[in-house]
Structure 1
Amino acid sequence: MADYYTPTVVDPMISLAAMLPIERLFLSQVFDEELTSEAAYYCSEDGARDLISLAASEIRAALDAATPETSRLAQKLIDEQSDAILGEDDIDLDMCGDLWADVLQDIVRRSPELDHLTVTMAFTCSKMRPDGFGGLAMLITASTIRSESTHTLFDRFYTEAAANGEISHGNP
């Protein structure tokens, strides 16, 4: 059986002052967090975690500084987990992979220091399989999240090469 990995790096480091407590709590569970006295570096050897567990009491405390207008994460938690937040049990959040880019974008939107963040991912595999390698690059600005994988890049290359008569076969 092959194991698939997605090493991920978020750049540059994010000032601790730029993040709401709920965002920092979330990002520190989705990624590995390395701290300096003023900033956090987010990365992961295996990829962003899709399933995380947070204590309801920690979420309540972290939500005090957030509003749904400034944080899509706060809005999602209030909309989807309001009863659980008031309880004492841990709250499992699934599909974090669909949310972390929005959290990073909210940080960029509010931060006077950041005009963008980049996320670089490598797709690797423990066996030499054609579907196990590649990557993804993401540019997050206040207004847009742009991303492209090596697979979509190759699709564009195939289309351009076929249109130019360079190849007759490929993976368009």
Structure 2
Amino acid sequence: MADYFTPTVVDPVIPLSAMLPIERMFLAQAFSEEFVGEAAYYFSEEGASDLISLPAAEVRSALDAATPETSRLAQKLIDEQPDAILGEDDIELDMAGDLWPDVLQDIVRRSPDLQELAVTMAFTCSKMRPDGFGGLAMLITASAIRSESTHTLFDRFYKEAAANGEIRHGDS
């Protein structure tokens, strides 16, 4: 059985003052978190966590500083977990991998000190399988999240090579 990994780095470090408490709680679970002065560096050696578990009491407290207008994470929790927020059990967020880019973009939108965040991901595999290697680059600004994987880049290369008559087909 092959194991697939997605080491990930978020650059630059994010000022602690730029994040809402709920965002810090979430990002610290989605990624590894290291402090660099008054900023946090987020990364993951294996890939961002897809399942996040947050204590309800801490979420209630952290949501006091957030509004649905400034935080899509706060909006998601309020819309999808209202009973859990009021309870005592942990709140579980599945598919957190789909949410963290939005959380990072909300931070960029509010922060006067951040114009962008760059996320670099490597696709690796414990066995030498063609589908287990590559990467992804993501640029997050206040107005857009742009990303491209090496797979989509190769698709473009194949189409260009086919259009130029360098190869017979453009399918990768």
TM-score normalised over the length of structure 1: 0.98
Q: CA deviation at 1:170?
A: 4.6
Aligned to 1:53: 53
Aligned to 1:93: 93
Equivalent pairs: percent with the same residue? 82
Distance across 1 between alignment mates of 2:64 and 2:33: 22
Equivalent residue letter for 2:109: R
Tell me, what secondary structure is at the counterpart of 2:81? helix
Aligned to 2:124: 124
Question: Is 1:26 the counterpart of 2:20 in the alignment?
Answer: no
Equivalent residue letter for 2:21: P
Aligned to 1:8: 8
Aligned to 2:115: 115
Can you list the C-alpha shifts for 1:94-126, whole angstroms capped at 9, x where unaligned? 010110000000000000000000000000000
Distance across 2 between alignment mates of 1:171 and 1:122: 23
Equivalent residue letter for 2:128: M
Structure 1 portions without partners, runs of 5+: none
Distance across 2 between alignment mates of 1:36 and 1:159: 44
Equivalent residue letter for 1:26: F
Can you list the C-alpha shifts for 1:55-98, whole angstroms capped at 9, x where unaligned? 00010011010000000000000000011000000111101011
Tell me, what secondary structure is at the counterpart of 2:115? coil
Cα RMSD after superposing both structures: 0.8
The farther-off stretch of 108-117 and 161-170 is: 161-170
Can you list the C-alpha shifts for 1:139-169, whole angstroms capped at 9, x where unaligned? 0000000000000000000000000001113
Distance across 2 between alignment mates of 1:54 and 1:17: 21
Give the count of matched residue pairs: 172
Equivalent residue letter for 1:162: A
Equivalent residue letter for 2:4: Y
Q: CA deviation at 1:36?
A: 2.5
The farther-off stretch of 34-43 and 23-32 is: 34-43
Q: CA deviation at 1:8?
A: 0.1
